[in-house]
A and B are shown apart, each in its own frame.
Chain A
Amino acid sequence: MNDLVVQTDGLTKRYGERLAVDSVSMTVRRGEVYGFLGPNGAGKTTTLRMMLGLIRPSAGTVSVLGRPAGRPDVIARVGALVEGPGFFPYLSGRDNLRTMARYRDLGDHAVDAALERVDLTDRAGDRFKAYSLGMKQRLGVASALLGDPELIVLDEPTNGLDPAGMADMRALVVSLARGGQTVLLSSHLLTEVQEICDRVGVINGGRLLREARVDELRGEATLRVRATPEDAAIAVAMRVAGENAVSRTPLGLELELAAEAAPALVRDLVAAGVDVHEVSPTERSLEEVFFEMTTEAPTTKEKVA
């Protein structure tokens, strides 16, 4: 019944005085594409490394596929690309994958399938060191796909890819999830996550700020109101939307209200003698949500209350 593919509890990694990861508790469910979102240095890669057993947590626990992370029987069911592809520069792309396939006890057929999947078959005979950054990245993803593991961990898989390559990568991730594999993807690119992820965890400064469905995060729609005099408008808005649901932005007031509340709001504003210039529903992009969460003091917004 345990459908949690990854579960961390109070996961912490401390390097000397610095907390790289600070009690992160997150869950990845079977079959979903989970976006692990955060700026560079937020602790994404360190968290992923602990999930893969590459480094030991200072505190807390990680379980992967229902067992403690890092055990051989768990690792064999996980494919990973963590912090850039690490391959033997003197070997061809194919021989690099054949080497990894031998560790996994897989045949050359699995290697060819993985190369095909990331569109590297044509260049598979070239040495890894002659690859472009994007090709290296694709080889890293191919290696993570070897043997169709249940969980695929991809750390910034679109790094170094051109726009077409990024689109291909997104399509690949979506098709993996359709095939029933669980994908845990870290990224600092919001559009990427917004398009392909079911759920996201937002991490900054080592702390998991929020974990939710993408539509939940974005879903908190707001109403933008431009009205004069502003003081009177704020008073009405706070009465209708609530004390803490009104903020002042350069574009006008922003109310945490759904679009359906607009007619009633306008009636109250007019009744209070306020001139209403504009009322528009706005849906926040993930980007806005993200910056709100990751910047400590919002610069463009101030709470009225």
Chain B
Amino acid sequence: MTTLIDNPVLRSTRAEVLRLRRWPAVWVLVAVWIALALVFGYLFPYLSYRTGDLSFAGDGDTRAQLLVEMLPAAIPTVLVQGLPMFGGALALVLGAIVAGNGYGWGTWKTVFTQGPSRPATVGGSLVALTLAVLGSLALTLVLFLGVSLLVAGTESQAVTWPSAGAMLESFGGGFLVLEMWALLGFALGTVARGPALAVGLGLVWALVVENLLRGVGALLGPVEAVTEVLPGTAGGSLVGALVDVSSNPNETPGVLDVLTGSQALLTVLAYCVGLVVLVLVVVRRRDVT
């Protein structure tokens, strides 16, 4: 009999949610993400708008444009434009500590002797990680709504809402990009059996190596082909498609138009699926000490 209550993945998910919810490190990452998103999405543009110093905008925006980008109608764009750089990096760190710390603490050893099979246990952990990513993005969205309403009120602007379709697209796309990075972190933490190497290598890869490769790729054809399938390229291009970067130049770092929206979406999805499979295969067979 496999009822919903008896489901081992569900049991593991409940256990993992409990321990993630009470983990200060998780809340630190969420707080940093939200602070960065608010600072770059609203605070800096607002300061730039108020002072009339447009050098921050950088991409030739006028004051009027700056204001428009802070109003509720622009939320779908603001929500995702920070994801390729710090959003993805923070999600990677989150995934890496969720998976990696358990090896040093010996908690995976304890958890693997509780009953649910290893795929079910790790599956539950992945579901809990996904919930954390979803929750953070939802929290961000709520805060952005509040701040943009505040801007509209302060600057006496009429409130126009973004279309539901645009909101869904932005939220869904942003979630997938974050989820891909979180899964990449989880996979690295699992393979490395610890958070330090996973976080270090993951961040160097995401923030340095990919950018270098894209630089080289612009000059060398074969390298360019490789850069097109990298996670950063895929995530950046997906966000680029969401904010329509090709017709609306945006110099936010990491936002790209290398791939079309559908190519980018497929690549991101392929990473998500492939990383989950990798994690399950590695954990199922390994010796845990």
A residues whose Cβ falls under 8 Å from a Cβ of B:
49, 52-56, 72, 75-76, 78-80, 82-91, 95, 98-100, 102-105, 143
A-B contact pairs, 5 of them (CB 8 A): A54-B112, A75-B112, A87-B106, A103-B15, A105-B6
- How far is A103 from B117 in the complex, measured between Cα atoms in Å? 10
Residues from 1 to 58 in B contacting A, C-beta threshold 8 Å: 5-6, 8, 11-12, 14-15, 18-19, 22-25
Residues of the A chain whose Cβ atoms lie less than 8 Å from the Cβ of B6: 105
Residues of the B chain whose Cβ atoms lie less than 8 Å from the Cβ of A84: 106
Residues of the A chain whose Cβ atoms lie less than 8 Å from the Cβ of B18: 95, 98-99, 102
Docked-complex contact A87 and B110, CB < 8 angstroms: yes
Chain B residue, CB-CB nearest to A105: B11
The 5 closest A-B pairs by CB, nearest first: A86-B106, A76-B115, A102-B15, A103-B114, A55-B287
Docked-complex contact B114 and A86, CB < 8 angstroms: no
Shortest A118–chain B CB gap in Å is 15
Residue from B112, B115, B120 having most chain A Cβ neighbours under 10 A: B115
- How far is A95 from B109 in the complex, measured between Cα atoms in Å? 17
Docked-complex contact A104 and B114, CB < 8 angstroms: yes
Chain A residue, CB-CB nearest to B104: A86
Docked-complex contact B114 and A75, CB < 8 angstroms: yes
Chain B residue, CB-CB nearest to A98: B18
Residues of the B chain whose Cβ atoms lie less than 8 Å from the Cβ of A103: 11-12, 15, 111, 114-116, 121
Main secondary structure of the interface of A (DSSP, over half): loop
Docked-complex contact B8 and A80, CB < 8 angstroms: no
Q: A54-B112, A55-B289, A80-B113 are in contact. List 9 more A-B contacts (CB 8 A).
A: A49-B287, A56-B287, A72-B8, A75-B113, A83-B106, A95-B18, A100-B114, A102-B11, A103-B114
Chain A residue, CB-CB nearest to B111: A103
Shortest A10–chain B CB gap in Å is 19
Docked-complex contact B288 and A55, CB < 8 angstroms: yes
Residues from 259 to 289 in B contacting A, C-beta threshold 8 Å: 285, 287-289
Assuming the contacts A103-B15, A105-B6, A105-B11, asked whether A72 and B22 have C-beta atoms less than 8 A apart, the reply is no
